[in-house]
Amino acid sequence: MILLWGLPGDRPLGMVAEELARRRCAFELLDQRKAVHAVVDLEVDGEVGGRLELGDFAVRFEDISAAYVRPYDSRRLPDVVAAGDGSELWNRAMAIEDILSSWCDITPALVVNRPWDMAANGSKPYQLEWIASLGFSVPATLVTTDPEAALAFWECHRDVVYKSVSSTRSVVARLSECEKARVETVRWCPTQFQAYVAGVDYRVHVVGDAVFATRIVSDRDDYRYASTSGGITRLEACELQTEVVDKCREVARAMNLHLAGLDLRQSIEGEWFCFEVNPSPGFSYYEEATGQRISQAVADLLLQSSRIADKGELTQCV
Amino acid sequence: MILVIAAQDDAVAHWLTHSWSGDDAVLITPSSLSARGWQFRISAAGEQTLAIDEQRVVQKSAVRGVYTRLTHVRETDLAQIEAADRTYVASEMTAFLRGWLSSLTCNVVNPATSGCLAGPYWRPERWICAAAELGMRVRPVSRSVPSPTVGEANRTYVAVTVIGQQWFGDVEQSVGATALSLARQSHAEVLQTFFVRDESDSLTFVGADLFPEFTNPALRDALRERLLAA
């Protein structure tokens, strides 16, 4: 049996669910909003067992052979927010999220991806050093609380971007003259600066051994936000050199990620930089723009590890 | 120089730092990350420095050993930051420390992991799985929602603490050796393991913790030795 865990409105999760349904494969989509009312038992004595029940849906953990998990922060679910911090529902939601996360980390089932492995993305410098050790170039980076050092770094590299150090989403922006005065504020919290690398952006999705490369043409520094600032972004499916493809696979494998979204840039000089590896990529954005069959590849991966036959029972979403 | 990275309210960290004052031990707390002078570079030439406080900035190369007792930076550790910004700053400081600790080439105990600044901060279930894989007798662990209301009877635990390649505890050699194996498997240099003794006088593994109490001065000395090892 295949378990999907997250929000039904989440496009990547929804696309994988549609693909599994199209193939008439047995799977269950555990709606995170309803899961706060589930009954969960996790029992570990060397073997990992237990049960998950919600309404008419009941599954033994040992019967799950693969899982695709994209849970959101339970504290931000509307019902949990309404109930308030420390409320019974809040405690229940946190406990269920923690138990399911624990199961994801220890089950012998294939999990795309295990929470422990995804956590590396919580620190960009930590991940950047890892990426560099695996052979990709990484941009010159300074994380500092020293305003003079930040200014000197800017002086040295001329063109510099700043971005969050953690996985907190931030708009990547170039440092401009009018922000010079604000540099003084870095002394309160380590702030990350990177030398700007001019070139062409690529998003590469690695799904098991399958690799999907997308070229991104944008007139903004952060193409993800181009449309909100009047910019234009165009996505094109493309092929990359074997050497780069192999390196992408190697990075995903080293990080124990069955599904990964790598942010690459080929500099004007032809050097390949890797900025980040997203362990829970929103691949639907790229699939919808390019027609690349990423969700199919995820479904393939889940099915490969599944003991179910292709003509298993059709799912019910709970 | 030895760095002890901990929360301001960590009494053990203060005691260790004081005990090792002859080795120039200093306490780094989250508020130290709001001091001017940290420079952490990746793939970039230039100084690599850390700020002990506003008065003292040192080269990263001066650090011989780091003992981390902080799983992550908490919002409550950031009195110096405006309340509205604390969640973001705590997350940024945690991410910074994770990268910085991993970049060190000196002795770091415990090495930072993806999920924790202080090593393998595993849930109880994962410790049980890891111990069982090593062939240890384990006490099953279960968690439920809704949780049962019955409490566990008071038990007396037998602790075995691993520091580097040594173990400490009033147990047979074989038990100490398995505790050491568990520490190695989890890549922890400091690990306190707990057992219960059953009717047949056998020990059963029940869990592990990354933060020993250091009630025995021999533990403190072993840790110092590990931090200063060449």
Could you report the per-residue pLDDT of B146-196, keeping only the tens digit for each? 876 555 666 789 999 999 999 999 999 999 999 999 999 999 999 999 999
> Could you tell me which of B113, B10, B64 has the C-alpha nearest to residue A117?
B113
Task: List, as ranges, residues 228-287 from A with C-beta within 8 Å of B.
Answer: none
Q: Say which DSSP state A312 is in.
A: -
Out of A198-212, B34-48, B135-149, least confident range: B135-149
pTM: 0.91
Question: According to DSSP H, which parts of B78-135 are helical?
Answer: 86-103, 124-133
Tokens of A293: 């069959």
Q: pLDDT class for B198, splitting at 50, 70, 90?
A: confident
CA A217 to chain B, closest CA, distance in angstroms equals 26
Give the gyration radius of chain A's Cα atoms: 21
Q: Do A144 and B33 touch (CB under 8 A)?
A: no
Query: Tokens 């260790």 map to which residue?
Result: B16
> Could you tell me which of B192, B98, B122, B4 has the C-alpha nearest to residue A190?
B98
pLDDT of residue A313: 42
B22 touches chain A (CB under 8 A): no
Query: Tokens 């090495």 map to which residue?
Result: B111
Beta-carbon-side half-sphere exposure of residue A257 (alpha carbons within 13 Å)? 25
Could you say which residues of chain A have pLDDT below 70? 171, 221-222, 224-229, 307-318
Chain A residues touching residue B142 (CB < 8 angstroms): 41-44, 50
> Could you tell me which of A219, A153, A143 has the C-alpha nearest to residue A180?
A153
pLDDT of residue B171: 95
> Could you tell me which of A178, A180, A240 has the C-alpha nearest to residue A211?
A240
> Could you tell me which of A219, A209, A199, A211 has the C-alpha nearest to residue A264?
A199
Q: What is the strand order of the sheet A57-60 is part of?
A: A57-60, A48-54, A39-44, B141-145
pLDDT of residue A309: 35
Which residue of B41, B49, B115 is in closest CB contact with A141? B41
CB A150 within 8 A of CB A125: no
SS3 B11: helix
Q: What are the C-alpha distances in Å from A51 to residues A33, A40, A43, B15, B37?
A: 18, 6, 9, 45, 52
pLDDT of residue A318: 40
pLDDT of residue B215: 84
- The pLDDT of B96-122, averaged and rounded, is 96
pLDDT tens digit sequence for A190-225: 999 999 999 999 999 999 999 999 999 977 766 766
State the DSSP string of A140-177: -EEEES-HHHHHHHHHHHSSEEEE-SBSS----EE--G
Residue B211 pLDDT exceeds 80: yes
Q: Say which DSSP state B199 is in.
A: T
